[in-house]
Amino acid sequence: MVYQYLLSEGRIGSLTLRNRVVMPAMGSGLSSPDGEITEQLIRYYEERAKGGTG
């Protein structure tokens, strides 16, 4: 199976990850026009963290 290790624990140096699902740095377009954090942006990251994305 190609994805057999995707949801298993992984390690990067001394850091142990719950699974191997990670979210890269990217622009979400959810900050204010002047770059400040908005409630919508906070909710965006909260939902990803709840889902187990590291």
Q: What integer pLDDT is reported at residue 53 of this predicted model?
A: 79
More confident residue, 21 or 13: 13
* Residue 13 or 22, more confident: 13
Each residue of 22-47: pLDDT tens digit?
888 889 999 999 999 999 999 999 99
pLDDT value of residue 22: 83
Tell me the two tokens of residue 7: 């949801």
Q: What is the predicted pLDDT for the residue at 13?
A: 96
- Return the pLDDT at 54: 66
Which residues is 10 bridged to in the sheet? Answer: 17
Residues 6+ apart with CB under 8 A from 31: 37, 38, 41
How far apart, in whole angstroms, are the C-alpha atoms of residue 14 and residue 50? 23
By the 8 A CB rule, do 17 and 9 touch? yes
